Chains A and B, each alone.
Chain A
């Protein structure tokens, strides 16, 4: 009889922790950077220099200058404050509000559930961005109103997720055990349900940061968001769109900024989702 065959295994290294660290740090840098954006600008973003208007990218001005001679790099940096902060505020609001409604519906059940879910269906039934446009137009422009408009159409998604997650957890064996331990409704919700539904909601929120940033930029592009001279990436692209063929860097610079930010938050969201996946969890133990 021959010797037993030996086969070697390719071990799949789990790079999850590394990816989490990288994207987490990048996202953090973005957020901190946007907070201290004024200090990071090489030039005053509002300082006009007409003599140097529409200058192409150079060592002095890595992103060139816009039609008023303002340094594009500085404009982009300062725009981050509005773009990123508004987005985070928006996402935070819809996550919290949607989750509260969803958990409340799932826990109460019966007619409360039916009524609130139909209301959320109503919001879902409107064509998203068009509805946001209508709301923003009625309220007038400005970043705040744009946020309100987008919040109005985006919260139902979180309510649905929170509701179905809560319904699933409600039937779980450990919840029965917790009831037998004497825990009342509030304790059950805060100590047991919320931590267990947190995962999918967090992942949705992180992936939504990119989407919301684009929608906010979209509204601003259409003139319903930030108004000049406030620097915001979407409105910056809108203001300069007729320069796209002649002096593209002016329009593209804020575009790249949106692209890079959305990518970072999306990758972070993906990684967080993989990390929270119980199958990955178990292997780490």
Chain B
């Protein structure tokens, strides 16, 4: 079976005038198999968000290669992106900020459908359906991001992400800003959707306990490099690196 995502030697160096070059990501390589839930754990400055932004083509890589579903997307831009974003979607950390404050949730969800040629009316109907799938009533189509709670907004964001049935869903700290009971509900929703739609999840997180309960495999990042990888149970019980050991010991 071909990996759904393959990252090889991915590097990102930020350079600004008058300052030293800053290597945010240094030669990161990993692959994800279809149907897998892969977590990337790391503290602030570890580079995990930068890796994910490069995979999602929101940021250009300095060097390395990113292959999505067999296609090299490292330098993809412009018209190619429509096809690529048909296979890969993202859910962000701050749900309310990930929607245009001047547009309704329904509009946000319908946008990806309309961009692919669906008529506006039909797209809105689809949006209602998707919201229902994610546990929200029809009235949420007309609501604005600031009118709903964090959990409700994140459900809408998930509805938007799965609207075009992507194969890979990137969850960038998608539950970190939510209350713990809401987090539990969202994770349950994600599990259900994954089974129904055959998706793979790339899960960026800082909560190692969450990763142990939700993900199949984990990569630990530190200062731009992957320092450890494996099955969560193994990594937690038998960490190979001091850094990982410290991280696990710090959990209260």
Contact = CB atoms under 8 A, between A and B. Distances in A.
A195 B107 CA distance: 14
Interface in B42-98: 56, 58, 81-82, 85-86, 89-90, 92, 94, 97-98
B87 to A, nearest CB: 11
Given A182-B85, A183-B115, A177 B58 contact: no
Given A177-B90, A181-B160, A196 B100 contact: yes
Nearest to A199: B102
Contacts of A176: 56, 58, 90, 92, 98
Contacts of B147: 285
Contacts, number: 67
Interface string A143-184: 000000000000000000000000000001110111111110
Contacts of B116: 182
A282 interface: yes
A71 B54 CA distance: 73
A179 B103 CA distance: 15
A176 B53 CA distance: 10
Contacts of A19: none
A178 B94 contact: no
Contacts of B111: 178, 181-183
Contacts of A183: 111, 115
Given A196-B102, A282-B146, A285-B146, A180 B97 contact: no
A181 B115 contact: yes
A227 interface: no
A47 to B, nearest CB: 52
B140 interface: no
Nearest to A281: B146
A282 B96 CA distance: 13
Interface residues of B, number: 27
A192 interface: yes
Contacts of B102: 195-196
A182 to B, nearest CB: 4
Contacts of A192: 100, 103
Contact of A196 (B56, B101, B108): B101
B90 A173 contact: no
Given A173-B98, A196-B101, A179 B112 contact: no
Contacts of A180: 56, 85, 89-90, 112
B201 interface: no
Nearest to A194: B102
A285 B157 CA distance: 21
Given A180-B56, A181-B160, A285-B147, A172 B112 contact: no
Contacts of B86: 182
Nearest to B86: A182
B99 interface: yes
Contacts of B101: 174, 196, 278
B176 to A, nearest CB: 14
Given A172-B97, A173-B98, A181-B108, 10 more contacts: A173-B92, A174-B98, A174-B100, A179-B58, A179-B81, A180-B56, A181-B111, A182-B82, A183-B111, A278-B146
29 contacts: A173-B92, A173-B94, A173-B98, A174-B99, A174-B100, A174-B108, A176-B56, A176-B58, A176-B98, A177-B99, A177-B108, A179-B58, A179-B85, A180-B89, A180-B112, A181-B85, A181-B160, A182-B81, A182-B112, A182-B115, A183-B115, A191-B100, A191-B103, A196-B101, A278-B146, A281-B146, A285-B144, A285-B146, A285-B147
